[in-house]
Amino acid sequence: MFKRLYNRVLSWAIHPKANKYLLALSFAESSFFPIPPDVMLAPMCLARPTKSFYFAMLTTVGSVVGGVFGYLIGMFSFELIEPIVEMLNYTEKLDHVKAWFAEWGFWAILIAGFSPIPYKLFTIAAGLLSMMFVPFVLASIIGRGARFFLVAFLVSLGGDRLRHKLNDYIETIGWSISFIIVVGLIFYKFY
């Protein structure tokens, strides 16, 4: 089951329009979409390791432009998306992000590139709190760029060897991760 999915993802990663999809996903994730671009970046780097840094650059550009869009949403339209933030249970996380901004400003955006808190909350909060635009963009470029270039670098290090190893062990990895998720959900539900 997982091997078939793994091979399908790799085939999507070399699709002629994969670059455009990566750019669009990166843009959307930084402003409104919940799935991070790493899920597309990593397979693309795995399928074509020599283009890894190009893919990281595309992801960074899409993410920063999407971040600017998120900033504008926060600045001019937050009341329109506030129900969505509440529906996704991001209200508490958004309050946490606001506190980070009050204390850290530029550094909060820089660190947001690696934070488990969705980046879109940082971009929207930056606009909502009227963070200075140029430092926002610079911190986004540095933080998001560092993250995506790190992912590209680590995946490209493995190259073909990693791709073949993953192909050999993908069933074990897939079932192990599924088991961990189920146990985690059960633990969360009852404790």
DSSP string, 148-160: HHHHHHHHHHHHH
Residue 179 domain flag? no
Q: In total, how many domains does the chain have?
A: 1
Residue 13 domain flag? yes
Question: To which residue do tokens 């590209």 refer?
Answer: 152
Torsion angles phi and psi, residue 171, rounded to 5: -65, -45
Question: To which residue do tokens 């709190």 refer?
Answer: 129
H helical segments located in 88-132: 91-104, 106-112, 119-128
Which pLDDT does position 112 carry in this prediction?
A: 80
Helix 38-47 / helix 133-190 crossing angle, nearest 10 deg: 100
CB 44, CB 20: distance < 8 Å:
no
Torsion angles phi and psi, residue 168, rounded to 5: -70, -35
Query: At residue 161, does pLDDT exceed 80?
Result: no
Residue 74 domain flag? yes
pLDDT tens profile 72-112: 998 998 888 788 878 878 888 878 877 877 777 788 888 88
Query: At residue 118, does pLDDT exceed 70?
Result: yes
Which pLDDT does position 6 carry in this prediction?
A: 56
Residue 181 domain flag? no
Residue 165 domain flag? no
pTM, two decimal places: 0.74
The CA distances from residue 39 to 34, 42, 92, 181, in Å, are 12, 6, 26, 17
pLDDT tens profile 42-83: 888 888 888 999 999 999 999 999 999 999 998 998 888 788
The domain of 52 spans: 2-159
Residue 151 domain flag? yes
Which pLDDT does position 177 carry in this prediction?
A: 67
- What is the average pLDDT across 148-159? 84
CA torsion 54-60-61-65 (nearest 10°) is 160
Report the alpha-carbon distance of residue 65 to residue 61 in Å, rounded: 6
Torsion angles phi and psi, residue 42, rounded to 5: -60, -50
